Amino acid sequence: MINFSLEGKVALVTGAAYGIGFAMAQALAEAGARIAFNCRSKEHLEKALADYAALGIQAKGYICDVTREDKVKAMIADIEKELGIIDILVNNAGIIKRIPMIEMSVEDFRQVVDIDLNAPFIVSKAVIPSMIKKGHGKIINICSMMSELGRETVSAYAAAKGGLKMLTRNIASEYGEYNIQCNGIGPGYIATPQTAPLREPQANGSRHPFDSFIISKTPAARWGVPEDLMGPVVFLASDASNFVNGHILYVDGGILAYIGKQPS
C-alpha cells in the first residue's frame, strides 16, 4: 500500500512564515508531521504562529538566521530536544533581487547566494548526522525554473538556484546509502507577495507585461498558487518516494515543456 502518511515525523521548513513555505508546512502538518519553522524576526514569528494556530497546527517557531552556522546548530539542537530528530527538512528560505547584472553590487550578489545556496548547505549539513543515525531522512530543496533557465535581472538568483540543483544531486549521491533521499521542487511562477510586483495592473488597467508573458508561456494559462506545491512536498517527504533521489520535480504548469505559441 502506498504510504503518504507523515504521522510521528518531525519536519523543519525554513522560511515558512508565509507564502509557499507556509503552504508546504501546512500540507506536511495535515499529513501528520510535527512542524518546526524559522524566520528572522519576532514580528514575523508571532504572526506566523497565530496563522498556524488558526489552522489548528501547533507549529514551533524559532528566530534563526540560516546563513549563520552557529545559529543553525543551536536551532537544530533545540528542535531535537523539543520535538525529536528531524525526519524531513525543507530548505525553502530564499530571496530574489531583480537587478541587471552590471548594475548589481557584489554585496547584493553575495547576499542572494548566501541565503539561497549557502544556507541550504548549512542546514542540510546540520541535520544529516542525526538522519544517518536514525537510518532515514528526507531533504527537499526548493529550487526554481531558474535552476534550468536564465532571464534578465536575476543573475544571482539563477546562479544560486542552479547551484542548489547540483547540491541536491550531490547530497543524494553522497548520502543515499544511508537511506537519505534529497530531492528538489522547482516552482514555476507562483502568486505570492514576492511575485506581486510582476502582477500589478498598469496605470491604464491593463495587465502587467510580465503577467501577460507568463500566462502566454504557461500551458496551464495561469500563475500557480502555493497550494499547488502541497501534494508534491508531501510525496517527496513520505515513504511513497523512497526510491526517488536526486530528482528535481518542476511544478510549473508546463512552462519548461513548452516552446510557446507561434506568433500570429
CA distance 130 to 127: 6
C-alpha cell at 163: 547551484
| Residue 189 DSSP label | S
Read out DSSP for 88-120? EEEE---------GGGS-HHHHHHHHIIIIIHH
Asked if 253 contacts 218 with a C-beta cutoff of 8 angstroms, the reply is: yes
**How far apart are the two ends of the chain, measured CA to CA in Å?**
50
Which residue bears the cell 544511508?
Answer: 178
Which positions are annotated as active-site residues? 157
Strand-strand pairing, 34-39 and 88-91: unpaired
Alpha-carbon torsion 8, 12, 13, 16, what sign? positive
Alpha-carbon torsion 251, 91, 182, 232, what sign? negative
Which residue bears the cell 508561456?
Answer: 217
